[in-house]
Amino acid sequence: VYDAVANECYSQGIYVHLDNHVSKASWCCSTTDGNAWFGDTYFNVSNWHRGWKYMAEHVKSLPAVKSIGMRNELRSPDDNTTLADDTYNWETWYSNMVENANQVHSVNSDLLLFFSCLNYDVTLSPIPTASDLGDGTVFKKSDFDFAD
pLDDT band at 72 (very low <50, low <70, confident <90, very high): very high
Domain of residue 70 covers 14-143
Within-domain flag for 1: no
Lowest mean pLDDT among 20-24, 72-76, 139-143: 139-143
Within-domain flag for 2: no
Lowest mean pLDDT among 6-15, 69-78, 83-92, 119-128: 119-128
Gap between the Cα atoms of 124 and 56, Å rounded: 25
State how many domains the chain has: 1
The model carries a pTM of 0.88
Gap between the Cα atoms of 145 and 142, Å rounded: 7
Within-domain flag for 9: no
CATH number (domain holding residue 64): 3.20.20.80
Q: In what order do the strands lie in the sheet with 112-114?
A: 16-19, 65-69, 112-114
Read off the pLDDT of each residue in 116-129 and give the average, rounded to a whole number.
83
Number of C-alpha atoms within 13 angstroms, CB side, residue 103? 18
Within-domain flag for 7: no
Within-domain flag for 6: no
Instruction: Give yes or no for a contact between 20 and 48, defined as CB atoms under 8 angstroms apart.
Output: yes
Per residue in 129-147, pLDDT (tens digit) is 677 777 777 776 677 777 6
